[in-house]
Chains A and B, each alone.
Chain A
C-alpha cells in the first residue's frame, strides 16, 4: 500500500532523511518511532506530497506521489502532529469541504459524518466555529475528516496527542477496522506502549536513518519495545 524506496530529504546541508526504505502492506498497522528531530514528520510529509524530496521514490497503492500526486493523494489521508484546521469554518463546513474535494456523494457523506461524529461525540459541536474548539476537539475533527472518504491508507503524525481516553480507544479500534478491510495505517508515536499493543510492524528511525524495522516480534524479541528503543538510542 505504501512503498518508500531510498528516500533522501535534505534541508540545505542537513540530511533529514537518509536513504530510507519501507514497505507497508494492506492490512498492516505500521508504527514509526524515533527521537525528536529523527525525521519522522519529514518522512510522513514526503509520503503525502507536502514536501519535495531529493532522492528516492514513494508509491501509494502503486502510484508515484512524485509523478502523479493527485491520483496518489486520492487514496490517502493525513493527520498532522498539530491539528491546524480552518478556524474560520464551522466543524460541519470543514467536513463538507473535505468531502467535496474527495467527491464523496451527498448520501455517503451524510451517513459517514453522522456515524463518525456520533462515535467521537462531536455532533453537538459541529455548528461551532473551529476557532472555538479545544485541541482535543480539533484532533477529533481531523480524525473524522481523515476517515470521511474511506481512504486506503492513512498517515498519522502523533494521532493520540490531545485525545481523551475514550476517543483514543475509539481511534485505535477504527485503525484496526480500516486495516481489516484491506487498508493500511502508517503512524508516528512517542507512546511506545501504544505502538507495542497496536502495531503489526514497527520501524525505528534515528538521525534520519532507519535502524530497525519488521514485525513487532522481530524488532523487540523478548524485551519491551521501550527497552529496545532506549538501547538503540544509546548506541552511537
Chain B
C-alpha cells in the first residue's frame, strides 16, 4: 500500500519528465533522458561543483589538524541549513493540503501509511538538498584520507542521518504552520511573515556562524581541544562521517528517537489537521455599495488574489523581491566596505564592480517566477476565463502585471542604492536603472511562455506546480544564466569593450528577446491559452 501511494506521489512530481501534458502522450525515451540530464546539469553540475570547491578547500587543513569531525560537523550544519530551507515552505502543503485527503481517508488505507507516504516526499526533497552539499563533501574527504570500508559506511550513514534530521525539522515546521493555520484568518499572509522571520533568523545565525568559522580558521591552534568539549554532540555527529563506529551507533540511536517522536506527533494529529475547517471562523457578510472596475483591473485583482492566497506561492515565487530590498539596504550599509575589495581588479577589468552589481541585481530580480506556475494554477477553474468575454491577451497581461508590479519597485530600489554607493556617470546611471528593468520584463514574459507551453491543469497539490515542476527548474536555470552571462562574460570581453559598451549590448539583446517573447505571447500564446 505504501509503495502505491509513494508511486502516485512520485508520478505527480516527476510526471513532467515522462509525460507531455500538451500532447497528452508519454514522452519519448530521448526526451525523458534529455530532461533528466538537464536536471542533473543544474543540480549536480552547478550546485554540486560549487559545494565541492568549497569542501576541497576546507577538508585537507582540517583533516591534517586532526579535526575531521569538525569538517563533517560544518558540512552537516550547511546541509541541514540548505535542506530545511529547501523544504520548509513545502512541508505544510505537502503533508496536509493535498486534494486527495478525503479520498485517501475514505479508503481502507491506514492513516500511518498516508503519513508515511507524505513524509517520504518531504524526505526526498530534504535528501536532494542536503545531498547536494554532502556528496561533494564526502568525495573531497575520500580524496584526502585513505578510503576504508568504515569511512564509506560512515559517509553513507552520515548522509542518511543528516537527511533524517532535515526531515524531522521540516516536519516540525510543517506541523507548527499547520496548527497555526487552522486557527488563523489571514493565514497565507501570517504564514509568509512567519516564514520571512524564520529566514531572517536563519540567515543571521548562518552569517554569524560563518564569521565564527573564519575566526576559528584563523586561530585554529587556540581553539583545538576547547571546541570539542563544548560541542559534544556535534563532535559525535561529525565523527560519523569519519566512520567511527561508536559515533555511528550513538547518532543512529539519537536520530531514531527524534524521528519516532516526530512520527508520533504527526500520526496523532494528521486526521484532525488534514480535515480541519480552514475558513478561520465564519465571516459575516455586510452588504456594501458595489464598485465597478474595468476588465483589466478585475483580472489583475484576481491574479493578486491568487498570489496572496497561498503562502507557498508567495514564498517560493516572490521571495526574491524581498531579497532585492535587502540587497539595496546591504549596499547602502556595507557597500563602502565591500566594493573597494572588488575594485582591486578594476585596472584589469575597468568598471567590473559596476557590471557585477548590474548582473547581481538583474539575476536576483529574474529569480522571481510568479508567472511560471500562474497558468497551471488555474487548474480546473480555467473554464471561467475561457468562457468569459475577455481577450486572452488581457488575461496574460494581468498575469504578468503581478510579477512586474511586485518586482520592479524593489529592483529600482536596489539599482538606486547601488547608484548611491557607486556614484556612476549619467550614462551608467541610465544603464544601472534600465538593464535590470529590461531583465525583469524579459523574465516575466519568458516565465509565462514556459507556463503556457507546459501547462498542467490536473494537479492534486499546488506545490508540484509551484516548486517541483520542470518549467520552474528551466526558468531557474535561465535566471541563473543571466548573472553568469552578464557578469562572467565580462571577464572575457571587458578589457576590450569596457563596461558601458558591454552593458549596452546586453541591454539591447535582452530587449530584443523580451520583444520576441511578448510577441509570441500576444499571438501564439493567447491562442494556446484559450484552448488549453
Contact = CB atoms under 8 A, between A and B. Distances in A.
Contacts of B391: 70
Given A97-B301, A132-B279, A50 B383 contact: yes
A100 B291 CA distance: 9
A82 B380 contact: yes
A110 B291 CA distance: 9
B292 interface: yes
A50 B387 contact: yes
Nearest to A47: B387
A105 B290 CA distance: 9
Interface string B287-322: 101111111011101100110011000000000000
Nearest to A125: B285
A52 B390 CA distance: 16
A45 B290 CA distance: 31
A73 B388 contact: yes
Interface string B380-397: 110110111111000000
Contacts of A99: 290, 292
Given A86-B306, A90-B283, A52 B292 contact: no
A113 B390 contact: no
A206 to B, nearest CB: 25
Contacts of A105: 292
B306 A88 contact: yes
A132 B379 contact: no
B298 A97 contact: yes
B384 A85 contact: yes
B389 to A, nearest CB: 4
A129 interface: yes
B30 interface: no
A87 B302 CA distance: 11
Interface residues of A, number: 49
A147 interface: no
Chain B binding surface, main DSSP class: loop
Interface string B265-300: 000000000000111001111110111111101110
B287 A114 contact: yes
Given A85-B384, A123-B285, A106 B292 contact: yes
A131 B384 contact: no
B416 to A, nearest CB: 34
Interface centre among B286, B295, B386 (most CB of A within 10 A): B386
A39 to B, nearest CB: 17
A96 B290 contact: yes
Nearest to A101: B388
A127 B380 contact: no
Given A49-B386, A78-B383, A128-B279, A97 B290 contact: no
B219 interface: no
Interface string A22-63: 000000000000000000000001001111100000000000
B531 interface: yes
A49 B387 contact: yes
Contacts of A92: 285
A16 B90 CA distance: 40
B433 to A, nearest CB: 35
Contacts of B380: 82, 84
A69 B293 CA distance: 22
Nearest to A86: B381
A127 B306 contact: no
Interface string A204-224: 000000000000000000000
B290 A73 contact: no
B171 to A, nearest CB: 24
A80 interface: yes
B291 to A, nearest CB: 6
Nearest to B296: A100
Nearest to B282: A128
B283 A128 contact: yes
A102 interface: yes
Contacts of B386: 49-50
A101 B389 contact: yes
A190 interface: no
Contacts of A85: 381, 384
23 contacts: A45-B383, A49-B387, A69-B389, A73-B388, A78-B387, A82-B380, A86-B306, A89-B305, A90-B283, A97-B301, A100-B293, A100-B294, A100-B298, A101-B295, A103-B292, A104-B292, A109-B292, A110-B290, A124-B284, A125-B285, A128-B279, A128-B285, A131-B279
| 6 interchain residue pairs of minimum CB distance | A88-B309, A100-B298, A132-B279, A127-B285, A73-B389, A84-B380
Given A50-B386, A90-B283, A96-B291, 11 more contacts: A50-B531, A51-B531, A73-B388, A100-B293, A101-B298, A101-B390, A106-B290, A106-B292, A107-B290, A124-B284, A128-B285
Interface of B: 277-279, 282-287, 289-295, 297-299, 301-302, 305-306, 309-310, 379-381, 383-384, 386-391, 530-531
Interface of A: 45, 48-52, 69-71, 73-74, 78, 80, 82, 84-93, 96-107, 109-110, 113-114, 123-129, 131-132
